[in-house]
Amino acid sequence: TAGVTVYQEGDTYVKLGGRIQLQYHYADPDNGSSEDEVFFRRFRPYIEGSVHPDWKGKFQWDMGKASGDNEIAVKDAYMQYTGMENMKFTIGNAKFPFSRENLTSSKKQQLVERTFVGDHNYGSPDRTAGIHLTGKSGDLFTWGASFASSSIDPDEDKLDFDTPVNSNSDFNEGWVYGGRVDFHPFGPLKFSQGDFKGETKATIGLAAFQWENDNDNNTNQAGKPDVDSVTGFEISGAFRAAGFSVDAEYNMFDADTVNGAYTGGIFRNGSTDLENWALEGGYMVMPGKLELVAGYESQDADNYGKEWTRTSVGANWFVHKHDLKFQLTYRMGENVDGVNGADEDEVFLQGQFVF
Amino acid sequence: TAGVTVYQEGDTYVKLGGRIQLQYHYADPDNGSSEDEVFFRRFRPYIEGSVHPDWKGKFQWDMGKASGDNEIAVKDAYMQYTGMENMKFTIGNAKFPFSRENLTSSKKQQLVERTFVGDHNYGSPDRTAGIHLTGKSGDLFTWGASFASSSIDPDEDKLDFDTPVNSNSDFNEGWVYGGRVDFHPFGPLKFSQGDFKGETKATIGLAAFQWENDNDNNTNQAGKPDVDSVTGFEISGAFRAAGFSVDAEYNMFDADTVNGAYTGGIFRNGSTDLENWALEGGYMVMPGKLELVAGYESQDADNYGKEWTRTSVGANWFVHKHDLKFQLTYRMGENVDGVNGADEDEVFLQGQFVF
Amino acid sequence: TAGVTVYQEGDTYVKLGGRIQLQYHYADPDNGSSEDEVFFRRFRPYIEGSVHPDWKGKFQWDMGKASGDNEIAVKDAYMQYTGMENMKFTIGNAKFPFSRENLTSSKKQQLVERTFVGDHNYGSPDRTAGIHLTGKSGDLFTWGASFASSSIDPDEDKLDFDTPVNSNSDFNEGWVYGGRVDFHPFGPLKFSQGDFKGETKATIGLAAFQWENDNDNNTNQAGKPDVDSVTGFEISGAFRAAGFSVDAEYNMFDADTVNGAYTGGIFRNGSTDLENWALEGGYMVMPGKLELVAGYESQDADNYGKEWTRTSVGANWFVHKHDLKFQLTYRMGENVDGVNGADEDEVFLQGQFVF
């Protein structure tokens, strides 16, 4: 695992680590002119430490996309109790146990960008601030359960969850609870894409959550319908064998707006069933060095004219597995935002360094 | 003390540390609807290092409350010369030697939030950028003196000092000088609340400062009277014995606005005598583990209709003293902002991790 | 060199370091009232690490001038391959090989502030995000070449390059490529001002670059002409001997605005030849301890009424060379922004701590 323990004596230790993702992104929509940019997709150091047994604290923050007034994003930020067998108890800002792809670290993805099923813009709750339990039962089951404060950045085109610890003035505040179970018939399989080991592994996962607006900050602005509640459901799976790596996920979100008559973007008459799924896979044509990957993702919403789909192909060159790699993804989007015929082609080229 | 020295060889060393305070805050005003939120009250790593004898540098910053355009707060940020006996010389951003409660670290407080006497919103100068001397004379006296740049965030309802190194465009700029002496009749007693040792200790302190606007940035906006000068005076004391811990402090601030006729908030006819005091105490019902605490604080200003008071009760559960604790405070405010009958009840629940 | 390697084992290492520059700045323009301020000119920790041979990552960011919505500046932020002889390959945000003074670290300057020839506000490309090669050929030649994304903050009074990784919404986006060669007839001389060693050293350098707007973000606002292209050329030199240290540099920038008729600030009829040069020098009156310094800098532009010049005198007190020093510079500006008779005197006093 990443990070370097720079000091350890008894129960006292300090660990440092970081990730750099420098991305070139080119977008060419059918309607409109193409644009490109170079930016840090992620630029994220972390410090972890402890001076007492069974407890640790983690400080992780991101300085990529440090533009305008959005300069810092607080990431893993928690204290954690590790003194129980098979279970960890976390207090603070941490990942929510929903969406296999979201729970797969950004540094361990096959495609440069997550698909609809893992993107916090489309229903996955992002990090939340609260209490989190994660655990395992033997080698066959892993699980997670959280109760936390969680915000939604209102936008009629999205179902955009954000952590409340980096809130903007228009965020809907709320509470979320949920949990997941993953079954690993051939022994534990971590949330990590790409098959470096060649062992046969598989996972099937189920998850669900409920988010409720606490009505502390509804701003009712144009194009930004306040979200009242969201219920989410996930079924997902993964398979690894002989250099093949496949991840599949289906999510369903039932979301209501505070204004029961709101129509626009993904919402019709104050409600939407946002449904998305994705299939991603790859094969190591040069084991541990070069992987060819492909993905297909789809999203539908009550108010979409037509299903939004994206087809991706790409290649990953691993210099040192996920620690140091270069990724190229070509993504073809159709009916962007559910608008029939609104197509867009994108190129993502990314270099990654992790220590 | 906090922090881990991860490397030391000769005069070269590096130390790392951090604090996490995750707070749940619920506010229920008499007039208006209740609100709650979960946020990082403090999320603050630090790096300290030296490559030469007798000098060190400290880098501490806070990423809690990273909202809107207020994402980073520079905290202890200085170079320090420690080569003198009984005296330290600090250049940079550091605490100003006023207010016993302000000088007591946020991680060593009995109540979740500071009271009027230590809150930089009500007259205590916060960190300032300049030169700072701190020292001791035997075991009986400790002292501090500073000359520094210091800003005021103009607001008719407050006397809000802020460090100039995180300035906003409307801050009044100025210079401040002042000093303090603390007398410890039973030997040195650190700025730290709660009695873990059970030894009898006591402190009596006196402090004063003078702040003057340098007129570089007076903006004269509605509700934000530019402050011309502030004179502050403090008398404070502390007592520890047998698990009891009591802190008491009285402050008086004589503040004038640039506009000599300004009336509003705390100011009447361009001036105010802002007077606040607080009494806080606690008893370890389970020594070193569980402390029950209570506090009373009061503030009066020339233009207040009635004295603003707050009564607090709470409990602190120490897992590892101040390094790892959970705190609950219930605070009952009366005549908020000096408005007769404007009451507000608040709940603060906070988990703290320090390494 | 700066930084402390806090852990090393095999190819794995972690290094930490930082710089603090606390500055007092006083400005007294002929027309207008004087102002002063105290602020962190730089407050910059860094973390560097590696877990694999020949590659390292660096995370450096600045929290000085953390005002308003400009709280973080990403500085050295890259992955670097060091496995080639005499050459380093860097991917990420790093210095561009133009301007001897810009390439001389801010912690190794004789004057508190850079002059026209090294200031990114006047034509030097600042850090850029892309690929960078640096190398040497024997002891006599060093060189650099970069291809990168680079932005311009449009302003008719400046030619202000900024890294795209901290972009504002009005930045012109573009691509830049360029290179430099430095010849050291008496053996390698680093980019560092002040002569601590007393050895005779010299450098002559040549550099050039081309920047082109990619037209992704032209906003055409008043006073902010979008820049279409910039061609830059540099010739520079340095000499060290017997406690004397002299740096000289001449730059020429040929810049065009998108609007071919734009006149204002430095531009006339949509174009300018911005020409600047500087001569800086110092002598160690107390070797390694006290240096007296002086500088003269000049800038001319097509639309200037008269050449803008600045004369500086100052003194540097080195407690531990560039690691810990105090600097005083008095700078006399004439015809500021090319306006005949617009003079301004400035005082800079700065304390610096580096570890």
User: Of C45, C71, C353, which has the smallest distance from its Cβ to B47's Cβ?
Assistant: C45
| Neighbors of chain C by Cβ distance (3+ pairs < 8 Å) | A, B
Chain-chain contact of B20 with A92 (C-beta, under 8 angstroms) = yes
Element (H, E) at A197: none
Per CB-CB distance under 8 Å, the chain A contacts of C171 are none
Nearest chain B residue to C34 by CA distance is: B216
Q: How many other C-beta atoms are found inside a 10 Å radius of the C-beta of residue A223?
A: 10
Residue C12 belongs to some domain of the structure: no
Q: Is the pLDDT of residue B68 over 70?
A: no
Residue C267 distance to chain B (closest CA, Å): 30
Helix (H, G, I), strand (E, B) or coil at C302: coil
Q: Which residues contact C143 (CB under 8 A, 6 or more apart)?
A: C97, C134, C135, C136, C137, C179, C180, C181, C182
- Could you tell me if residue C25 is inside a domain? no
Q: Does the pLDDT value for residue B63 go beyond 70?
A: yes
- How long, in residues, is chain B? 355
Q: Do A68 and C69 touch (CB under 8 A)?
A: yes
> Phi and psi of B114, rounded to 5°?
-65, 160
In a domain, A20, yes or no: no
How far is A99 from A123, CA to CA, in rounded Å? 9
Q: How far apart are CA C6 and CA B52, in angstroms?
A: 16
Contacts 24+ apart (CB under 8 A), C24-29: C24/C347, C24/C348, C24/C349, C24/C350, C25/C346, C25/C347, C25/C348, C25/C349, C26/C346, C26/C347, C27/C344, C27/C345, C27/C346, C28/C344, C28/C345, C28/C346, C29/C336, C29/C342, C29/C343, C29/C344
Cross-chain Cβ contact B77/C4 below 8 Å: no
Which chain A residue's Cα is nearest to C63?
A71
pLDDT the model gives residue C164: 93
Has residue C125 been placed in a domain? yes
A83, with CB counted inside 10 A (0-12, 13-18, 19+), is: exposed
Sort out which chain C residues have CB atoms less than 8 A from B166's CB and list them.
66-67
**Is pLDDT of B331 > 70?**
yes
Q: List residues of chain B with CB under 8 Å from any CB of chain C.
A: 6-7, 12-14, 16, 47, 49-52, 55-57, 59, 61, 69-74, 77-79, 91-93, 129-130, 148-149, 164-169, 173, 214, 216
Q: Say which of A57, A72, A214 has its CB closest to residue B18.
A: A57
In the prediction, which pLDDT does A67 show?
A: 63
Task: Report the chain B residue with the minimal C-alpha distance to residue A62.
Answer: B63
**Could you tell me where the DSSP H helices lie in A194-252?**
none
As averages over each run of 10 residues, the pLDDT of chain A (355 residues) reads 90 96 97 94 96 96 77 94 96 98 98 98 97 96 98 97 91 97 97 96 98 96 97 98 98 98 97 98 97 98 98 98 98 97 97 97
Q: Comparing C-alpha atoms, which of A218, A125, A123 is closest to residue A170?
A: A218
Q: Which of A78, A79, A131 to mutate to test the interface with B (most CBs of B within 10 A)?
A: A79
The domain tally of chain B equals 1
Position C186 in a domain: yes
Q: How far apart are CA C118 and CA C2, in angstroms?
A: 22
* Mean pLDDT computed over every residue of chain B: 96
pLDDT tens digits for range A54-101? 999 999 999 997 666 678 899 999 999 999 999 999 999 999 999 999
Domain that holds residue B250: 4-354
Residue A69 C-alpha, separation from nearest chain C C-alpha, in angstroms: 5
For C6, the closest chain A residue by CA position comes to A6
Looking at residue B107, the DSSP 8-state letter turns out to be: G
CA atoms within 13 A on the CB side of C161: 36
How many of the other CB atoms lie within 10 Å of CB of A187?
A: 12
Q: Which residues of A touch B (CB under 8 A)?
A: 6-7, 12-14, 16, 47, 49-52, 55-57, 59, 61, 69-74, 77-79, 91-93, 129-130, 148-149, 164-169, 173, 214, 216
Cβ–Cβ pairs < 8 A, chains A and C: 108
Q: Which chain C residues touch A7 with a CB distance below 8 Å?
A: 6-7
Distance from CA of C166 to the nearest CA of A (A): 5
Q: Which helix (H) or strand (E) holds A102?
A: helix A100-103
Task: Answer whether B57 sits within 8 Å of C355, measured CB to CB.
Answer: yes
Per-residue pLDDT of chain C (355 residues; tens, 9 = 90+): 589 999 999 999 999 999 999 999 999 999 899 999 999 999 999 999 999 999 999 999 999 976 666 788 999 999 999 999 999 999 999 999 999 999 999 999 999 999 999 999 999 999 999 999 999 999 999 999 999 999 999 999 999 999 999 888 899 999 999 999 999 999 999 999 999 999 999 999 999 999 999 999 999 999 999 999 999 999 999 999 999 999 999 999 999 999 999 999 999 999 999 999 999 999 999 999 999 999 999 999 999 999 999 999 999 999 999 999 999 999 999 999 999 999 999 999 999 999 9
pLDDT tens digits for range B154-197: 999 999 999 999 888 899 999 999 999 999 999 999 999 999 99
B52 and C7: CB-CB below 8 Å?
no
For chain B, first and last CA: distance in Å?
A: 9
Structure tokens given for C300: 């001319």
The CB density around residue A139, as the number of other CB atoms within 10 Å, is 11
b/e burial code for range B272-296 (CB count within 10 A of at least 16 → b)? bebbbbbbbbbbbeeeeeebebbbe
Q: Rounded distance, CA A152 to CA A256, Å?
A: 12
Of the candidates C71, C72, C91, the beta carbon closest to that of A22 is on C91
Residue C71 confidence (pLDDT): 81
Tell me if C52 and A320 make a contact (CB, 8 A cut-off). Answer: yes
d(CA A205, CA B172): 57
**Chain A closest-CA separation from residue B62 CA (Å):** 11
Nearest to A58 by CA among A101, A33, A94: A94
Give tens-digit pLDDT for C270-285: 999 999 999 999 999 9
Write out chain A residues lying below 8 Å of B39, CB-based: 129, 164-165, 167
Hey, are the CB atoms on B36 and A169 less than 8 Å from each other? no
Report the gap between the CA of B234 and the closest CA in chain C (Å): 27
- On whether residue C295 sits in a domain, the answer given is yes
What CATH number is given to the structural domain containing B248? 2.40.160.10
- Give the C-alpha separation, C307 to C167, whole Å: 31
Mutation target for B interface from C22, C28, C62, C325: give the one with most B CBs within 10 A: C22
Using DSSP's 3-state secondary structure scheme, residue C287 falls into coil
Taking an 8 Å cut-off on Cβ atoms, the answer to whether C55 and A16 are in contact is no
